[in-house]
Amino acid sequence: MSGKSDQRKPVFKNSSGLDLQPFYSRADSPKVADSAPGEFPFTRGVQETMYRGRLWTMRQYAGFGSAAESNQRYKLLLQKGTTGLSVAFDLPTQMGYDSDHLMSTGEVGKVGVAISSLEDMEVLLKDLPLEKISTSMTINSTAGILLAFYAAVARKRGIALKDLRGTIQNDLLKEYIARGTYIFPPKPSMRIITDIFDYCRQEIPEWNTISISGYHIREAGATAAQELAFTLANGITYVQAAVDRGLDVDEFAGRLSFFFNVHNNFFEEIAKFRAARRMWAQIMKSRFGAKDPKSMKLRFHTQTAGVTLTAQQPANNIVRVTLQALAAVLGGTQSLHTNSMDEALGLPTESAATVALRTQQIIANESGVSDVIDPMGGSDYVEFLTDDLEKRATDYIARIEGLGGVVACIERGWIQNEIQNSAYQYQLDVEAKREIIVGVNDYVQHEGEPIETLRVSEAAASEQIQRLKRFKAARDAKVVAAQLERLRNAAKTEDNLMPLFVEAVTHHVTLGEISDTLRQVFGRYKETITL
């Protein structure tokens, strides 16, 4: 084991590059206490009572192998006290390929659950009380199809769609920026997103139609200020697209939600969430003329930072996740996922997932932080950081708009390049030990016995493929062909595609067949490479 001197780094900065003073006074934070909780601009929280009235939703992101295996994990998590489901899908499902497609080889069920058909979704949701729980589905390019599966299952059970609560991520702009699970070019992707806004406004009014995500932007290497700026810029783009479609902002904006990363710099992360609420409220009121306070409230889910987890000394990750989760709660999150300590090595084991959930429960029930609303409000340092992040993010948004908007910046690779530069600088700082990662570039020790990791059975993938083939063989091929032809024709118009998705999956059309039909009409997106 190596030691470490007590000498601190000579320059103190946060992740956004701010030079930190030794201390802060009230004079450094002119906007301190600019509102009460539940009041515009919601700096101190979107609800008047916050966690005094109701704790945040405790979600644990899960999904692997077959639908049956994932169903068992969800039941286990509900028994242990989770208050909402969060579904991870495998790469073929995310990319619009059925499990039996050649492109799915070796990936079925590996990083999430495989869902190709209505039958798969029925198995995934078996015995789960859909009318009582909230379900989040981390899915983007095929979000409309997965929502259609979910709605079709509810209808078969006799559950009214108006009683369904949940979220689909449905954020394609961040896929082009940071994550890469896109299928279609930006224009048709934006069309499908607004189709979903319009459909849910009428049919599933309690569903959050998009989770505008900074999480993956941060995971790709962005600073806190960049995560805030690029996420809200994407939000502006989605709202503008819906308004251009003819939707009234107060008819859909209340169902928009956000998804943020929570990283290691404790106070900066708290300030980021406070700044996000204030900025979004002002954007919605001033820019889009929203009148309903619900349209101005930035509601968000948080996940602890996967990129901060280390394969070395994995037990240290419990401490990292605890600090990150505490920052999310002090920042006023509406729901939270805590990563498991073993996720740098593989999918979480049952025991590691339980510890991650217990982390949230201990914070909620033993720490006292939920007893007071915005307990960091009024801190000279946190208020100063809130103001600083707002300014940095606002300046970034102005630069994006000066370059023609988010889509133009994506197409020329400008946003991607900004993130790449930040990621590169961070790596240089780690290698030079300006940033310390305990157990990686300092406090290194000989590793002990390897910890248990979860392995997805290849037999599960084989069974999934065989079951899907049986499902396809039992269908009426003429009905499937007619459904796909209707969808193909509608895609060439401006008709809303969501009702057609629901009807198609009800008639046993698969996710891959719908996606292939849309690929034929919309084409595929090819990324701009920047050097």
Closest to 55 measured CA to CA, from 272, 321, 369, 339: 369
Residue among 169, 172, 173, 72 at smallest CA distance from 123 = 72
What is residue 111's three-state secondary structure?
Answer: coil
pLDDT (average), residues 352-374: 93
pLDDT score at 457: 73
Q: Is 29 helix (H, G, I), strand (E, B) or coil?
A: coil
Backbone angles phi, psi at 355, to 5 degrees: -60, -40
**Per-residue pLDDT at 293:** 97
Average pLDDT value for the chain: 93
Tokens at 39, concatenated = 């009041």
User: What beta strand segments (E) does 177-327 contain?
Assistant: 207-208, 210-213, 256-262, 300-304
The residue count for the chain: 531
Is the pLDDT assigned to residue 13 strictly greater than 50?
yes
In this prediction, residue 259 has a pLDDT band, given cuts at 50, 70 and 90, of very high
Phi, psi of 331 (to 5 degrees): -85, -10
- Residue 271 and residue 135: Cα distance in Å, rounded? 28
Q: Half-sphere exposure (CA, 13 Å, Cβ side) for 209?
A: 26
CB 517 within 8 A of CB 487: yes
Give 84's pLDDT tier (boundaries 50, 70, 90). confident
The pLDDT score that the predictor gives to residue 530 is: 56
Distance of CA 143 to the CA centre of its chain: 13
- Spatial separation of the C-alpha atoms in residues 315 and 177, rounded to whole Å: 32
Q: Is the pLDDT of residue 250 over 70?
A: yes
Q: How much is the pLDDT for 2?
A: 43
List of residues 6+ apart from 448 with CB closer than 8 A: none
> Rounded distance, CA 420 to CA 434, Å?
19
Q: What angle do CA 183, 187, 191 make, to 5 degrees?
A: 90
- Say if residues 123 and 68 touch (Cβ distance below 8 Å): yes
The strand pair at 256-262 and 210-213 is best described as parallel
In the predicted model, what is the mean pLDDT of residues 478-492?
Answer: 98
Query: pLDDT at position 33, please?
Result: 56
d(CA 365, CA 360): 9
Given a cut of 50, whether residue 100 has pLDDT beyond it is yes
For the residues 154-165, what does the mean pLDDT come to?
97
For the ranges 2-6, 154-158, 301-305, the lowest mean pLDDT is seen at 2-6
Going by pLDDT thresholds of 50, 70 and 90, the confidence category of residue 240 is very high
pLDDT band at 64 (very low <50, low <70, confident <90, very high): confident
Confidence band, pLDDT 50/70/90 cuts, at residue 7: very low
Q: Write down the CATH number for the domain with range 26-431.
A: 3.20.20.240
Average pLDDT, stretch 205-232? Answer: 97
Local confidence band at 11 (pLDDT 50, 70, 90 cut-offs): low
pLDDT reported for residue 30: 66
- Mean pLDDT, range 221-231, rounded to an integer: 98
Q: Residue 178 corresponds to which amino acid?
A: A
Mean pLDDT for the stretch of residues 134-147: 96
Percent of the chain at pLDDT above 90?
A: 82
C-alpha 77 chain-centroid distance: 19
**pTM exceeds 0.85:** yes
Instruction: Give the distance, in angstroms, between the CA of residue 455 and the centroid of all CA atoms in the same chain.
Output: 24
Report the pLDDT value the prediction gives residue 63, as an integer from 0 to 100: 83
- Please, what's the b/e burial string for 382-397 (b: 16 or more CB within 10 A of its CB; e: otherwise)? bbbbbbbbbebbbebb
Across 52-66, 222-236, 332-346, least confident range: 52-66
**pLDDT digits over 400-424, tens only?**
999 999 999 999 999 999 999 999 9
Q: Summarize the confidence of residues 194-208 as an average pLDDT.
A: 96
Q: At residue 365, does pLDDT exceed 90?
A: yes
* Mean pLDDT of all residues in 95-115: 95
Contact criterion met (CB below 8 Å) for 45 and 373: yes
Reported confidence tier of residue 528, pLDDT bands at 50, 70, 90:
low
Among 14-23, 258-267, 456-465, 507-516, the minimum mean pLDDT is found in 14-23
Question: How far, in whole angstroms, is CA 523 from its chain's centroid?
Answer: 26
* Burial class of residue 411, CB neighbours in 10 A (0-12, 13-18, 19+): middle
Higher pLDDT, 66 or 292: 292
145 in helix, strand or coil? Answer: helix
CA dihedral over 415, 421, 424, 428, signed as positive or negative: negative
- What is the reported pLDDT for 23? 59
**Bond prior to 41 in cis (omega within 30° of 0):** yes
Tell me, what's the pLDDT at 19? Answer: 86
Q: What torsion do the CA atoms of 484, 490, 491, 496 make, to the nearest 10 degrees?
A: -110
> Residue 447 to residues 285, 352, 355, 444, 450: CA-CA distances in angstroms?
54, 19, 21, 9, 8
